[in-house]
Structure 1
Amino acid sequence: MGKDKSEKLLSRICYGFADIYGGGAFVVISTFFTVFLTKALGMPPALVGTIPLIGKIWDAVTDPMMGNIADRTQSKFGAKRFWILVGSIISAITFIVMWVPFLAGGSIAGQYIFYVLMYMLFSTGFTIVMVPYNGLLPDMISDYTLRSKYSGTRMIFSSLGAIIAGLVPTLMIKDNTDASEYLTVALIFAVIFLVAILVTFAGTWERQKKIRKVSFAATFSQSFTVFRSRSFKLFVLIFIFGQAAADFVTGLAVYYIDDVLNAYGGGNFTKLMGVILISQFLGMILFGPVMSKTSKKAPILFGTPVRMLASFAMLFFSYEGAPFTVILALSFVIGIAMAGTSISIYALLNDLVEVDELITSINRPGICSGMATFTRKIAAGLSSAVIGVLLAMVGYDENLASAGMRQAASTQRGIAYIYVFAQLLLLLITLLLAIIFPVTKKEYEIICKEIERRKGEDNSIASAEEIAVCEKVTGYKFDKLWNVENAISTRTDEKLGGSL
């Protein structure tokens, strides 16, 4: 489509709408799925924590495959928009099945198998929508600054989805031991997510391009070659640690409010989630212009140190009877800083398609998106597993929880320490990785110019500085770039050394 359409606000809004699902689904799951299984169904937390992790192992199959499918599909709608349409219905159905009460008070083994399978179905539905969606923007727009605007708008809708997903369940789930209340919430969100995805399908476009088909036998090896890019490896680590830090906030919020502060009732949990999610929404609006005028990693560099200070301060107010207004104020700061991480991550992803193309000579946004989506799920799965294990280590008793009783004092302190120090560690790692991430607007434009040279569209000769940038960003020697074998080979002898 033409430039005029791409610059319209309505186009940015339609593009961003689907991330109500992308941002909201994981908030509901990370906040309430463990609670649903432990408090409503009485499953052991350590066992519950492994369910998302198993789902992520399944994603190692489905995400690369979906990336391949998206890149090789031909449709009048565009390959990615076609799968977004197909996935809209599948996603709504698979989200519902996760929350069906099964064998409550019965066989733990039977429950475990059922919810592993249901989680795998949901994860497949999420993949069908989000892998093509994450790869859509590079096939819509090539301008660096305009991509930043679209990414910023998308993350506003992601944050809006998180607000809805974080607040509506807290208002509807009055008794967190009543399994039927969770299913009612799931039905409502299935409709919301379906509508949001369809809006994006209707309001976006996609450049038609030559399809390079890859056999399914080669899908997995070729998908994992994206990790040979230095920039992509750094991005993946930023994604894992940055999103895990956010998952620890939402995944432990119920336990922190209910078991540490003993303040779940009286609307306090709704207030806490509301403050965190609304501040994230404000943070998206704040950091969008900052990112457009500076660099796409700037929100991480600005927001993470502030969040670390606010998180550490929470430790001094983690007891029953603590002034709740102080906790809300600190949570507001944390929420704004969380927005900085999220908006940076998805903006950075879009520019890695060109980095991969310079390495391989193949434009494969679907595969890049598939591996990024897989990474996001790995982060969520690991977070859930680690939270479950850590809760078990500090003595969390699921029998007390399902009976509505308080945990032991030592367990309460342990939850508070996990809530604070796990965030600090993850945030420190994220900040260090962002500092060394090599792609800004300058590097991106050099990469695009070199791609034009390789295609014969630019007759200029690369300067020494441009060669150095290409090598730094890709991790490859300059004369080894633009080689289709780089999308297939797993050898490392043609690289600069393979380090981050």
Structure 2
Amino acid sequence: MSQKQHHTTPAADRIPLMQKSAYSVGMFVNNLQAAALPAMMIILNLGLGIDPFLVGILGFIPRIFDALSDPMLGYISDNTRSRWGRRRPYIFAGAILSGLIFALMWQLPEGHSETFYFWSFLIALILFFLAYTIYATPFVAFGYEMTADYHERTRLHAFANTVGQLAWIGVPWFYMLMSNENLFRDTVHGARTLAIWVGAVVAVLGIMPAILCRERRFDAPKKQSEGVLKNTKEFISGITVTFKCKPFVKLCASTFLVFNGFQLGISFSLYIMIYYLFNGNNYLAGKLNGWFGMLTSIATLGVIPLTGWIATRLGKRNTFLLTISLSLAGYALKWFGYNPDMPYLLLAAAPFVAFGTGSLFTLMGSMISDVCDYDELTTHERREGVFGAIYWWMVKVGMALAGLLTGILLKVSGFDEALAQQTPETLLQLRIFDVGIPLITSAIALYIIYSYPITEERAYEIRAELESRRGKIG
């Protein structure tokens, strides 16, 4: 088959619309939790007055606990046997727990010391990320195994990420909402109220995939009854084998660089808007931040299905190379968009930035599904949970480092939250961090993914070999 020829997805491999929709609602919940927390973390610094370095520590330590728990939960989910399946019980429980904890952890009482706030929030964050892991790790693995078809996998993740992207449209407005004096006494009061609404949405909508989606039948490995020591050895061995899967390592490395480079860079954007574009005016900065985030999110809604369409014609690897290259143009445009005389010029960069954020997880979710087949060919095991957990472990370690580095780089730049006006040197460094970091990391990711080996032709060859060996999975 030539690279321009494509397989047609048979009806048996199509995912019913109801199940695809339910999974997409779960993606919205997953993204809401991922987006809401960092959007509200700035309140710890600008609302409660916690030192930015300590805020960076708060962004780092809980994510390390989260990253350590992910692979273990993935292994447990892969090896779970229950009448409800391998994934759905954890998705149901995790949605309720994470929603409840998110709502409660922002209910910090007034009038306490920085030390009190730091330790209280640190403990709450660790508990939240544990609950989030219980939800997210089986949920992600569920998406990898809902269909065996190369193109239907891309359609599923394009559909789910389009719905999930709706979370990113609203979240950029959180700071403006929390700082609205007509609604709340102060930003801390705004955060308390908003957290309750977010937690309720997570708990109610997060259980939808567990209720409405059907799991495909897999023969779970018989490892649970072999004892704790044996299972621990198998778990560690499985992690080692996973990291030896070269296509998977390439996907992890490229995602680590693209997404966490974006996250680290954009951590400085609101500071630049407040102190460089609007001379300390929180409301005006929050308004521009909301418009930039919403425009990026709306553009992303178009980029995601476009990515799926392009991928069925150019292939997943070539689509990645195209879309991430376009995002580089967006980051470069941000440098010129930071203009105090024309602050809304920044919005011109948003559609280009959207090509990076919109295409990444649409392609990666589908490509990891292909990697799971590639891995089964060698290991004779279905390990979607472990692959999904380690993939997101890489993302979360990067997010932890981004949170830590944000605090460190704020210190390096000379930023002082007590000052109404920051020095020109500080503002220049913040702009360099904002633009330069994602430019460099995304360029390295392009180099890495250039040699990704699983083409459409190879993916169908792998599927045929697997089905001839163990039959189709119902």
Fold shared, TM-score > 0.5 on shorter chain: yes
Deviations 1:120-141 (A, max 9, x none): 1111111111110111134321
Equivalence for 1:135: 141
2:194 aligned residue (185, 191, 194): 185
**Preserved CA contact (<8 Å) 1:42 1:105:** no
Cα distance change of structure 1 residues 349 and 196 upon mapping to structure 2, 3 Å threshold: farther
Cα distance change of structure 1 residues 164 and 244 upon mapping to structure 2, 3 Å threshold: same
1:157 aligned residue (136, 156, 163): 163
Cα distance change of structure 1 residues 173 and 343 upon mapping to structure 2, 3 Å threshold: farther
Equivalence for 2:290: 270
CA drift of 1:204 comes to 1.0
1:350 aligned residue (346, 354, 369): 369
Deviations 1:245-301 (A, max 9, x none): 331354233212212212643432221221122212221132221123332234421
**Preserved CA contact (<8 Å) 2:19 2:209:** no
Q: Does 1:412 align with 2:427?
A: yes
Percent identity of the aligned residues? 20
CA drift of 1:314 comes to 2.0
Equivalence for 1:239: 255
**1:284 counterpart SS class:** helix
Distance 2:68 2:442 in 1: 29
**2:340 counterpart SS class:** coil
Q: Does 1:433 align with 2:448?
A: yes
Equivalence for 1:330: 349
**1:406 counterpart SS class:** coil
Equivalence for 1:470: none
- Residue type at the aligned position of 2:389: G
Equivalence for 1:10: 18
**2:217 counterpart SS class:** coil
Equivalence for 2:3: none
Distance 1:399 1:104 in 2: 18
Equivalence for 2:300: 280
Q: Does 1:371 align with 2:390?
A: yes
Distance 1:333 1:327 in 2: 11
Cα distance change of structure 1 residues 331 and 387 upon mapping to structure 2, 3 Å threshold: same
**Preserved CA contact (<8 Å) 2:67 2:396:** no
**2:207 counterpart SS class:** helix
1:459-478 matches, within 5 Å, as none
Distance 1:21 1:172 in 2: 21
Equivalence for 2:333: 313
**Preserved CA contact (<8 Å) 2:144 2:365:** no
CA RMSD in angstroms, aligned pairs only: 2.4
Cα distance change of structure 1 residues 435 and 98 upon mapping to structure 2, 3 Å threshold: farther
Equivalence for 2:124: 118
Distance 1:61 1:406 in 2: 40
Distance 1:20 1:349 in 2: 20
Cα distance change of structure 1 residues 456 and 28 upon mapping to structure 2, 3 Å threshold: closer
1:148 aligned residue (134, 139, 154): 154
Distance 2:175 2:84 in 1: 35
Deviations 1:92-142 (A, max 9, x none): 012223423256551x33332222211111111111111101111343211
Distance 1:138 1:272 in 2: 32
Equivalence for 1:261: 277
CA drift of 1:207 comes to 1.8
**1:136 counterpart SS class:** helix
CA drift of 1:63 comes to 0.9
Equivalence for 2:458: 443
**2:220 counterpart SS class:** coil
Deviations 1:208-236 (A, max 9, x none): 32221254423244234311100111111
Please, what TM-score do these two structures have when normalized by structure 2? 0.88
**Preserved CA contact (<8 Å) 2:179 2:283:** no
**1:135 counterpart SS class:** helix
Distance 1:385 1:56 in 2: 10
Distance 1:224 1:181 in 2: 45
Please, what TM-score do these two structures have when normalized by structure 1? 0.84
- Residue type at the aligned position of 1:377: K
Unaligned runs of 5+ in 1: 458-500
1:202 aligned residue (203, 211, 230): 211
Deviations 1:386-425 (A, max 9, x none): 111111100111333xxxx232222111111111101111
Q: How many residues align?
A: 449
